């Protein structure tokens, strides 16, 4: 056998473009099989449209269509939006070039960062059908639209423009439409597409999504909010999350001439005092020129970051959904199952390795949900549904590790997904979601994230437990009360008749038998006329906004104990509600609760409390969460013990 020389081997070496790499490894991006490829293609198109609309302060109206192609397994995917459109010279780069985008270096919450998504769909369609993608873009009402047909040159990772023309697109003021021929398994994948779009509408309540299937069947996922999400603000990297090599690169590129100014200008949460502490811990002169530092000096600086207590990064880089909107969306999407109640919990923002994140949880309970099946999990990361790899996701692992038997749900061996009539939604928002792979289908096992998920889910579970306990206790006491008030008067009436005496008052007797403090409440809604809370479309159409309401809550307290009662009562309110009139005057109000210090209520006495909330829609607040203090909660029906803030 002839020996091959190094020179001969060298002639075979050549550079591989990123497009060529993904051409041969399409499974990495979620195109591993025809079923998953369909969902990934829809996901990338919808994500692209949502991002474009939100960046331009436009409430998204998105249309997704799937049409039969020329062959059985060939389909035409169409995604259309009412976004700002794309200028002509950027169309070929956005749709025909991988790793091209505006958010890769930005540290803030976003759906995508790498600039791979939609161009990967174009590449997949090109590989499987040999056909080109078509893009229509309109950037102004008085301008014609641009129609561009393009392909991707995988050797150069550049778009190949097949044709470019101007066309009239009169039904759109501005917007973008992309048509991509793809080979997929539509029969197996169509239910996943529906599930993805339905779930997307839940965590993006400001968007309307219309989905037209191959057979013409149309699904409309209506928006439930006319307010755009709070924009996430870009922040600088945090010292806790920086790698040594990145630190060295940042120093070489920085304009700072002193180490102290490099630290304060290039990092978040790094004031002059903290910078001095870091320099002292690293045994480095704060006036040292960062461009001239050695690797050993950078290593000492990197180690010092871990030893010095540095304030957490700013959290305005996150854009959570919010408890009220999660509840509203879940209520809208679960109308058919008529759930008994819906609970939401938002944890305070925190960080892992210097990366800010926040966990939000929603729990739907009861109704027609099956009692003998595992609860349904809905996983989300940065407002994007996670449909695959459920078993390998930190969200699933966190939920499975909770002992659900303590909260009234069945669970074999105290581990695993619980069984019962419930749906659990978990949303993780972060500047850097630690996905298990590039296909972004599951969240990696990060201790801080798992712990926050457990805390949020347990908080929901406790509320479920309280609700069930309160319901059972109230029914038992109500049955007892109805029985007493029905039988005792009959006995008293007959006894009085037999003795020929007037019928005595039974209030004291009923109070003695009941021996509880009864708290009941009702909630009503009063419509109000208003302008849109935040006009976020390009169309000045106030009629498109939903009417909000004044939510009125009335709490009635009856003392069925033999002694006068004096205690504090707390009513928890949604964080985004505005407190209106409160009667009687509370001793304290915060953004989360109203506190009354109740005067002495005599035996058989009654007390009535009322409060109003603005800024909500009908049904956003549909159940009071009441707590008592300075009274034995075992004798209270309708409220739980106040555990403090």
Distances (CA, A) of 254 to 126, 261, 264, 296, 489: 42, 10, 12, 19, 87
Same domain, 276 and 171: no
What's the N-to-C CA distance of the chain in angstroms?
80
What is the spatial distance between Cα 629 and Cα 387, in angstroms, rounded to a whole number? 44
Do the domain assignments include residue 233?
Answer: no
Same domain, 187 and 275: no
What is the spatial distance between Cα 110 and Cα 122, in angstroms, rounded to a whole number? 22
Q: Are 458 and 402 in contact (CB under 8 A)?
A: yes
pLDDT reported for residue 11: 64
Q: Are 396 and 449 in contact (CB under 8 A)?
A: no
What does the chain come to in residues?
A: 645
What is the spatial distance between Cα 394 and Cα 453, in angstroms, rounded to a whole number? 9
Residue with the two structure tokens 């201790």: 447
What is the spatial distance between Cα 339 and Cα 330, in angstroms, rounded to a whole number? 10
User: Which residue among 163, 186, 221 closes a domain?
Assistant: 221
Same domain, 67 and 198: yes
Sign of CA dihedral 296, 301, 302, 304: positive
Q: Which residues of 110-121 are buried (b: 16+ CB within 10 A; e: fewer)?
A: bbbbebbbbbbb
Torsions phi, psi for 527 (to 5 deg): -65, 145
Angle in degrees, 0-180, between the axes of helices 117-129 and 88-96, rounded to the nearest 10 = 70
Same domain, 177 and 34: yes
DSSP state of 281: H
Q: Are 358 and 320 in contact (CB under 8 A)?
A: yes
Same domain, 264 and 344: no
Q: State both tokens at 177.
A: 């439409």
Same domain, 37 and 179: yes
CATH number at residue 266: 1.10.8.50
pLDDT reported for residue 538: 32
Contacts of residues 3-12 at CB distance under 8 Å and 24 or more positions apart, as own/partner, are: none
Give the chain's domain count.
Answer: 4
All residue ranges of the chain with pLDDT < 50 are 115, 530-545
Torsions phi, psi for 20 (to 5 deg): -65, -35
Q: State both tokens at 113.
A: 């960062």
CATH number at residue 428: 3.30.230.10
What is the spatial distance between Cα 385 and Cα 363, in angstroms, rounded to a whole number? 16
Range of the domain at 552: 506-641
Torsions phi, psi for 481 (to 5 deg): -65, -45
Closest CA to 394 of 384, 383, 406, 379: 379
Same domain, 33 and 92: yes
CATH number at residue 540: 2.60.40.290
Do the domain assignments include residue 481?
Answer: no
Same domain, 32 and 174: yes
Do the domain assignments include residue 317?
Answer: no
Do the domain assignments include residue 493?
Answer: no
Closest CA to 625 of 596, 598, 592: 592
pLDDT reported for residue 626: 92
Distances (CA, A) of 100 to 21, 95, 159, 249, 472: 15, 9, 11, 21, 58
Do the domain assignments include residue 232?
Answer: no
What is the spatial distance between Cα 129 and Cα 91, in angstroms, rounded to a whole number? 21
pLDDT reported for residue 63: 97
Q: State both tokens at 97.
A: 């070039």
Kind and range of the H or E element at 483?
Answer: helix 447-499
Q: Does residue 291 sit in helix, strand or coil? A: helix
Same domain, 29 and 108: yes
Same domain, 39 and 188: yes
Do the domain assignments include residue 25?
Answer: yes
Q: Are 42 and 196 in contact (CB under 8 A)?
A: yes
What is the spatial distance between Cα 533 and Cα 241, in angstroms, rounded to a whole number? 38
pLDDT reported for residue 102: 56
Closest CA to 396 of 441, 365, 366: 441
């Amino acid at each position: 056998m002839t020996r091959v020389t190094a020179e001969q081997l060298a002639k075979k070496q050549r550079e591989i473009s990123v497009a060529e790499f993904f051409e041969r490894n399409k499974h990495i991006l979620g195109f591993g099989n025809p079923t998953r490829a369909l969902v990934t293609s829809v996901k990338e198109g919808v994500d692209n449209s949502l991002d474009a609309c939100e960046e331009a302060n436009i409430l998204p109206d998105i249309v997704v269509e799937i049409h039969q192609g020329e062959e059985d397994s060939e389909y035409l995917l169409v995604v259309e939006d009412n976004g700002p459109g794309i200028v002509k010279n950027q169309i070929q780069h956005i749709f025909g070039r991988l790793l091209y985008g505006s958010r890769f270096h930005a540290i803030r919450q976003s759906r995508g960062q790498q600039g791979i998504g939609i161009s990967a769909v174009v590449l997949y369609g090109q590989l499987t059908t040999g056909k080109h993608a078509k893009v229509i873009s309109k950037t102004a009402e008085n301008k014609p639209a641009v129609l561009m047909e393009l392909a991707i040159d995988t050797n150069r990772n550049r778009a190949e423009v097949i044709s470019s023309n101007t066309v009239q697109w009169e039904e759109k003021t501005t917007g973008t439409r992309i048509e991509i021929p793809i080979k997929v398994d539509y029969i197996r994948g169509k239910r996943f597409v529906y599930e993805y779009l339905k779930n997307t509408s839940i965590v993006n309540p400001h968007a309307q999504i219309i989905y037209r299937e191959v057979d013409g069947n149309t699904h409309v996922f209506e928006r439930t909010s006319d307010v755009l999400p709070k924009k996430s603000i870009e922040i600088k990297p945090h010292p806790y999350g920086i790698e040594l090599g990145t630190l060295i690169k940042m120093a070489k590129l920085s304009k700072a001439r002193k180490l102290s100014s490099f630290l304060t200008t290039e990092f978040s949460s790094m004031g002059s005092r903290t910078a001095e502490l870091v320099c002292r811990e690293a045994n480095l002169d704060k006036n040292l020129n960062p461009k001239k530092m050695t690797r050993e000096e950078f290593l000492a600086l990197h180690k010092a970051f871990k030893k010095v207590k540095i304030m957490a990064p700013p959290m305005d880089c996150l854009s959570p959904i919010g408890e009220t909107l999660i509840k509203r969306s879940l209520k809208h999407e679960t109308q058919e199952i008529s759930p008994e109640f819906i609970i939401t919990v938002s944890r305070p923002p925190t960080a892992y390795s210097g990366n800010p994140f926040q966990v939000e949880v929603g729990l739907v309970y009861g109704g027609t949900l099956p009692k003998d099946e595992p609860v349904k999990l809905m996983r989300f990361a940065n407002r994007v549904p996670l449909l695959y790899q459920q078993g390998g996701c930190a969200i699933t692992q966190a939920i499975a590790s909770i002992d659900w038997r303590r909260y009234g749900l069945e669970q074999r061996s105290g581990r695993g997904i619980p069984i019962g009539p419930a749906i659990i939604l978990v949303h993780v928002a972060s500047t850097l979601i630690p996905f298990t792979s590039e296909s972004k289908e599951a969240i990696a096992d990060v201790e801080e994230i798992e712990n926050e998920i457990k805390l949020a889910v347990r908080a929901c579970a406790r509320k479920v437990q309280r609700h069930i306990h309160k319901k059972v206790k109230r029914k038992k006491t109500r049955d007892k009360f109805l029985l007493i008030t029905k039988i005792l008067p009959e006995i008293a009436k007959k006894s009085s008749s037999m003795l020929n005496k007037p019928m005595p008052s039974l209030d004291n007797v009923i109070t003695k038998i009941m021996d509880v403090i009864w708290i009941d409440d009702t909630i009503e809604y009063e419509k109000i006329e208003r302008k849109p809370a935040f006009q976020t479309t390009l169309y000045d159409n106030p009629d498109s906004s939903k009417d909000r309401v004044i939510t009125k809550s009335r709490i009635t307290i009856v003392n069925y104990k033999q002694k006068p009662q004096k205690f504090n009562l707390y009513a928890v309110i949604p964080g985004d509600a505005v407190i209106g009139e409160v009667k009687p005057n509370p001793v304290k109000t915060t953004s989360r609760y109203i506190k009354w210090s109740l005067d002495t209520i005599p035996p058989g006495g009654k007390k009535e409390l009322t409060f109003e909330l603005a800024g909500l829609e009908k049904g956003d607040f549909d159940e009071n969460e009441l707590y008592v203090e300075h009274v034995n909660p075992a004798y209270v029906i309708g409220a739980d013990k106040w555990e403090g803030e």
